[in-house]
Structure 1
Amino acid sequence: MKLKPLVVAAFVGMTSLSSFSALANTAVKFTLDWKFEGPAAAYLVALEKGFYKEQGLDVTIDSGNGSLDAIPKVASGTYEFGFADVNSLIKFKDQNPDSPLQGILMVYDKPPFAIIGSKQTGVNTPKDLEGKVLGAPAPDGAYAQWKAFTQVAGIDASKVKIDNVSFAVRESMLVQKRVDAIAGFSFSSFLNLKKIGMAPEDIHVMLMADYGLKLYGNTLLVNPAFAEAHPDLVKGFVAATIKGWQYTAAHPEESVKYVLERNKIANEAVETERLKMCLKDNVVTDNVKANGFGGIDYGRMDEAIEQVGMTYDFHHKPTSKAIFTDAYLPAKSAREM
């Protein structure tokens, strides 16, 4: 039996439409925690090289205004994915105990929280802070860990004077020796100090994680409703993001160029150095080399939650399982760095 031309045309049209729909990528939005700087390169690499597209995703990446901005955006569904400090997530979960929001890929195995001293002021170890002045903006993320850091690092906090300087003058206060050390993010304060004239060899960066702080850093987040409805797409997003970080770790100079396309006022040399510091200190740690990128040790996370409690009063303290799930991670062999 022959089909009439009109019927054939309709059938072909329906088939083409069906094929197009099957191939169409799912649109999702991803918010960073901050501006387009060096560490954002991995996500832009995954976007521009088609890693997300290979997983059936049409991803839009937006800059952010801090973790406290990114977390509610993902929790509410304004964004399907986000990047934020897991310690801020711990506090969010305490304040919103019914929220199923979780981390799904631990990106910063070590957080960038740091104390930065200088040779001129004689602060090279945590104990050197005793009898000295620490410059720390009150809302700073690193300073938020100060109480816990003094306990785990054996510092007598009563012997350290705190000067709540502003972000705008923090680094210049150290250069001018008006404070003896500052609290800040390692790769930001170091580069700021270099920019205003301090010699790199005179800058001493102490990552809090190297002196007893068990905290993790930034994690990938997913909206719970989206994850429940599209678990395979979430796995695909995680796999593509891992691939982006792997490529970026192997090709940092090339990867930074994608950042420069989004941030026209960024300095290539500065952002390359920022990215390399982030990779070395926060992402590709000894633990990650041994155990793979993106997962966590739940025992360590339990300790981290206890340390958050040294600086924060819990009302509904979350468990490590409530904070992070490894359900969307690929096998360890696919997470090598």
Structure 2
Amino acid sequence: MQANRTTALRLMLALVIGLAGGAWPAAAPLRAASDPLPPLAIQFTLDRPLDAAAAPFVMAAVGGLFSAEGLSVGTNIATGSADAIARVAGGASDFALVDINALIRFRDTPGAAPVKAVFVLFNQAPYAIIARKSRGIRGLSDIQGKTLGVAEGDLSIRLWPAVARQNGIQLGSVKQNSISAAVREPMLSAGQVEAVTGFSYLSAINLRDRGVPADDLAVLRFADYGCEAYGFAVIVSPRLAAAKPDAVKGFVRAVIGGTNLTLKDPARATTEVVSRMDGGSAELEQERLRAIIRDNILTGEVRRNGIGGVDPARFERSVDQLAEDFKFQKRPHVTDIFDESFLPPRDDRLIN
């Protein structure tokens, strides 16, 4: 009898402990093994207003590639790469598309969060000098003795010292005029400056929209004059990378798929982008996308090695070039900035 009472007391005690700990199986509905998990909510930041450069991400969403990876992706717009990086570093955003050279500079600031890039979209940076041939500039050497408009926060000018040195141009021979980004193209169009720095796929096409004839524009791409820099890259929150690496891999796979969809059907990609823009021009964005694919995404390096990665030796040379304008407290190396562990194998990154 005593044994029975002892057994009963033990059973009652186990029941009380189970309820207190939330372990009682009837306390919550069971999820069937076959039921899909709810999608993981992700915040993705673009460093500038939507245009054709974001086509791979738009196509990944339209094609259901994010949802196929179990991700629900919301997009927000930053005021530039520095702002986008700060959002990811502070945890307000999970991913962002930023200029990788801005990330390199950010990582050199004291106490910077260990944010890294996990996918490179622009294998070549879009940095360029855009000039008027009618003002006597047809090649890079013609820039000597001319006035160069440089917009506030412009990233191209950071690589200009290295490009100038490589091409025998004395920096002092080129007068720099600091201007607002809002008046960059109007000033060149009006002849108030003879050239401007900027992105080849932005300023050059914007100028044509302002009535400057295409055959009067000299687009001097830094990549054609020895600049080794990579361009836009996807960065990830260190918190998400550590806690949910599979989600990071899934996001990267979806972006690769979206890039392939963009390359296969640029016209549709343009339509999808323009439909999400406020007053976008299909003609301009299609021209912009063609330039991006040709000059920045589908390079010889990408055709050989697949999209998304970096060549370590080239990356180190690009940091050396950046150092001609920026004094590093501690010079970074490729593994400080880029984490290749989230990329699929090379064969899965080759452009079809």
Q: TM-score, with normalisation over the residues of structure 1?
A: 0.92
- Preserved CA contact (<8 Å) 1:235 1:329: yes
The answer for the alignment partner of 2:13 in structure 1 is none
Tell me, what secondary structure is at the counterpart of 2:340?
A: coil
* 1:276 aligned onto 2:293: no
- Aligned partner of 2:158 in structure 1 is 144
Per the alignment, residue 235 of structure 2 pairs with 221
CA distance in 1 between partners of 2:34 and 2:130 (Å): 57
Mapped partners of 2:93, 2:34: distance in 1: 28
1:44 aligns with 2:58: yes
**Count of aligned residue pairs for this structure pair:** 326
State the partner residue of 2:114: 100
Amino acid at match of 1:100: P
Unaligned runs of 5+ in 1: 1-9
Say whether 1:231 aligns with 2:229: no
**Alpha-carbon displacement from aligned partner over 1:117-168 (angstroms, at most 9, x marks no partner):** 2220121221111122212224222223222221222211121122223323
Equivalent residue, structure 1, for 2:147: 133
Which SS does the other structure have where 2:86 is aligned? helix
User: What residue in structure 1 maps to residue 329 of structure 2?
Assistant: 315
User: For the Cα contact (< 8 Å) 2:122–2:297, is it kept in 1?
Assistant: yes
Partner of 1:26: 40
Aligned AA (1:199): P
Distance in 2 between the 1:65 and 1:168 partners?
Answer: 13
Alignment match of 1:190 (pick from 204, 208, 216): 204
Is 1:247 aligned with 2:279? Answer: no
8 Å contact from structure 2 (residues 163, 226) kept in 1: yes
One-letter code of the match for 2:321?
Q
8 Å CA contact retained: 2:158, 2:322: no
CA RMSD between the two structures: 1.8
* Maintained 8 Å contact 1:95/1:316: no
Measure the CA separation in 1 of the matches of 2:249 and 2:217.
41
Show the counterpart of 1:65: 79
Q: Relative to structure 2, which stretch is displaced further, 153-162 or 31-40?
A: 153-162
- 8 A Cα contact 1:97 1:316, kept in partner: no
SS of 1:14's equivalent in the other structure is coil
Check whether the contact 1:103–1:219 (CA below 8 A) recurs between aligned residues: yes
Structure 2 letter corresponding to 1:335: R
**Which is higher, the Rg of structure 1 or of structure 2?**
2
Identity within the alignment, %: 34
Structure 1 residue 289 corresponds to structure 2 residue 310: no
Contact 1:29 1:81 in 2 (8 A): yes
Partner of 1:5: none
Aligned match of 1:158: 172
Q: TM-score, normalised by structure 2?
A: 0.88
Matches within 5 A, 1:173-184: 173-184=187-198
Distance in 1, matches of 2:246 and 2:152, equals: 42
Cross-structure match for 1:14: 29
- Cα 1:50–1:206, aligned 2, differ >3 Å: closer, same or farther? same
Give the direction of change, closer, same or farther, for the CA distance of 1:146–1:138 in structure 2 (3 Å limit).
Answer: farther
Unaligned runs of 5+ in 2: 1-24
